[in-house]
């Protein structure tokens, strides 16, 4: 019974933890206090929570501090959930926001069953996610380095027109450039060095992710996912690290919603109004799903590389990936021929691609 439960809402900030304690169905907090967010503060928090009556259930929102506090409490046999911030109900017209208020609101919403808890990864799973996300960071650093160097050269009337940007020929052309002014030459050399360093960092991360994809616990699912068009080892490992377990999603639509690819809706009575995708969910998964979906604009004919990836896959998986080839290509061109722009069509394809990813996860 909820009257025998002590509900604890916590605001987990970088330096302190605001705590609000509710006994049963009480409308006001039984107690509010603050502890320092370090090892000694965690010890004090654990001691205080264990002294509370009845079953103690705690909650805080996911944030920059990650899962450390939850693991500390769980290790001490104290129940603690982490709520998804993007799915926490927000009161319209609310203009005052403080850490103590947030702690109280979380406690009340948790008691009412209005919070959506996230699945907490294990240490190894979180380490894999950190590796994949660090590779994403390295990619962003490389793109910034490219943009800065490119714009610097454009301001001086230099533009590569002999082929594809950032190809081997483009990079070779950049190495031939020099300036008479010492200041400009310094900038050029620093930009080139920064780009070279970012590119090498990307290569190191790619190698590490590739090595991780061959680990026994990931190898089978990676090979199955790579049977889908547009999905290679890096994308497969992003899916695995971010979803934690594809089988935890009850159906394909649950995965689509977790990625934020379902349409938003604002309907009332007989009026139906649907908008763009919610974008409420895992942005890393949403990005790779949309990137992979661009491949389905091509005819559903498997090239040599795709045939090699599909060689040896179980018949059940082959049936899924071949169905995806036909279905998603038809979906893309059906929308484009109806007048939808290509970006909208690709997002729609990404939503359905998530369904095929879910199906593969159920047979792996």
Please report whether residue 230 resides in a domain. yes
Question: Same structural domain for residues 223 and 281?
Answer: yes
Question: Same structural domain for residues 248 and 313?
Answer: yes
Give yes or no for residue 14 having a pLDDT over 80: yes
Please report whether residue 91 resides in a domain. yes
275 three-state secondary structure: strand
Question: Same structural domain for residues 295 and 228?
Answer: yes
Average model confidence (pLDDT) for the chain?
93
CB 221 within 8 A of CB 361: yes
Query: pLDDT tens-digit profile of 62-84?
Result: 999 999 999 999 999 999 999 99
Distance CA(175)–CA(179), nearest Å, equals 12
Number of folded domains that form the chain: 3
Domain boundary among 63, 87, 112: 112
Tell me what pLDDT residue 47 has.
97
Query: What's the pLDDT band for 361 if we cut at 50, 70, 90?
Result: very high
Please report whether residue 118 resides in a domain. no
Question: Same structural domain for residues 307 and 185?
Answer: no
Identify the burial level of 100 via C-beta atoms within 10 angstroms of its C-beta, where 0-12 means exposed, 13-18 middle and 19 or more buried: middle
Question: Same structural domain for residues 155 and 182?
Answer: yes
Paired tokens of 192: 């080139």
Please report whether residue 117 resides in a domain. no
Paired tokens of 308: 């090699």
- Domain range holding 79? 2-112
CB 67 within 8 A of CB 20: no
CB 295 within 8 A of CB 230: yes
Query: What's the pLDDT band for 364 if we cut at 50, 70, 90?
Result: confident
Query: pLDDT tens-digit profile of 139-157?
Result: 999 999 999 999 999 999 9
Query: pLDDT tens-digit profile of 159-210?
Result: 999 999 999 999 999 999 999 999 999 999 999 999 999 999 999 999 999 9
- The DSSP bridge partners found for residue 81 are 59
How many beta carbons lie within 10 A of that of residue 1, not counting itself?
A: 8
Lowest mean pLDDT among 92-96, 129-133, 269-273, 339-343: 269-273
Residues 6+ apart with CB under 8 A from 13: 37, 65, 99
Give yes or no for residue 2 having a pLDDT over 90: no
Distance CA(72)–CA(19), nearest Å, equals 16
Distance CA(107)–CA(59), nearest Å, equals 7
What are the angstrom distances between the C-alpha of 23 and each of 5, 50, 55, 108, 283?
7, 14, 10, 11, 37
Question: Same structural domain for residues 85 and 129?
Answer: no
Please report whether residue 97 resides in a domain. yes
Question: Same structural domain for residues 346 and 232?
Answer: yes
Lowest mean pLDDT among 93-97, 111-115, 203-207: 93-97
Distance CA(344)–CA(335), nearest Å, equals 8
Query: pLDDT tens-digit profile of 295-313?
Result: 999 999 999 999 999 999 9
Distance CA(206)–CA(94), nearest Å, equals 45
Residues 243-247, mean pLDDT to the nearest whole number? 93
How many beta carbons lie within 10 A of that of residue 110, not counting itself?
A: 22
Helix axes 182-213, 123-154, angle to 10 degrees: 150
Phi, psi of 292 (to 5 degrees): -65, -30
Tell me what pLDDT residue 91 has.
76
31 three-state secondary structure: strand
Phi, psi of 238 (to 5 degrees): -65, -45
Give the strand pairing for 5-12 and 55-61: parallel
Give yes or no for residue 331 having a pLDDT over 80: yes
Question: Same structural domain for residues 264 and 197?
Answer: no
Give yes or no for residue 254 having a pLDDT over 60: yes
Give yes or no for residue 3 having a pLDDT over 70: no
Tell me what pLDDT residue 270 has.
56
Tell me what pLDDT residue 263 has.
77
Domain boundary among 78, 112, 146: 112
Distance CA(68)–CA(172), nearest Å, equals 47
Residues 45-57, mean pLDDT to the nearest whole number? 96
Please report whether residue 21 resides in a domain. yes
Tell me what pLDDT residue 87 has.
82
Q: Please tell me whether the overall predicted TM-score, pTM, comes out greater than 0.85 for this model.
A: yes
Query: What's the pLDDT band for 4 if we cut at 50, 70, 90?
Result: confident
CA neighbor of 56 nearest in space, from 31, 39, 93 = 31
Question: Same structural domain for residues 105 and 223?
Answer: no
């Amino acid at each position: 019974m909820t009257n025998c439960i002590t509900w604890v809402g916590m605001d987990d900030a970088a330096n302190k933890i605001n705590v609000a304690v509710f006994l049963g169905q009480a409308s006001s907090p039984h107690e509010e206090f603050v502890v320092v967010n370090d090892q000694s503060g965690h010890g004090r928090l654990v001691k205080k929570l264990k002294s509370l009556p009845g079953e103690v259930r705690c909650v805080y929102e996911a944030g920059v501090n990650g899962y450390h506090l939850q693991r500390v409490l769980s290790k001490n046999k104290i129940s603690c959930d982490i709520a998804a911030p993007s799915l926490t109900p927000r009161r319209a017209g609310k203009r005052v926001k403080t850490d103590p208020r947030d702690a109280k609101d979380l406690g009340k919403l948790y008691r009412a069953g209005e919070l959506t808890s996230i699945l907490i990864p294990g240490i190894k799973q979180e380490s894999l996610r950190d590796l994949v996300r660090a590779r994403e960071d390295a990619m962003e650093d490389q793109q910034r380095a490219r943009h800065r160097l490119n714009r610097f050269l454009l301001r001086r009337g230099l533009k590569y027109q002999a082929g594809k940007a950032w190809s081997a020929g483009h990079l070779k052309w950049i190495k031939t450039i020099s300036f008479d002014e010492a200041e400009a030459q310094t900038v050029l050399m620093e930009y080139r060095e920064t780009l070279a360093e970012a590119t090498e960092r990307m290569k190191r991360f790619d190698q590490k992710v590739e090595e991780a994809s061959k680990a026994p616990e990931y190898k089978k699912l990676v090979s199955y996912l790579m049977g889908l068009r547009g999905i290679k080892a890096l994308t497969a490992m992003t899916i695995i690290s971010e979803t934690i377990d594809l089988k935890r999603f009850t159906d394909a639509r649950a995965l689509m919603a977790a990625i934020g690819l379902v349409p938003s809706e604002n309907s009332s009575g007989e009026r139906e109004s649907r908008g763009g995708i919610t974008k409420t969910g895992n942005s890393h998964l949403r990005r790779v799903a949309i990137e992979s979906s661009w491949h389905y604009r091509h005819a559903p004919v498997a090239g040599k590389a795709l045939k090699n990836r599909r060689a040896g896959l179980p018949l059940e998986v082959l049936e899924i990936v071949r169905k995806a080839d036909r279905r998603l290509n038809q979906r893309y061109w059906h929308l484009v021929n109806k007048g939808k722009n290509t970006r909208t069509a690709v997002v729609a394809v990404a939503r359905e691609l998530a369904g095929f990813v879910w199906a593969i996860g159920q047979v792996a």
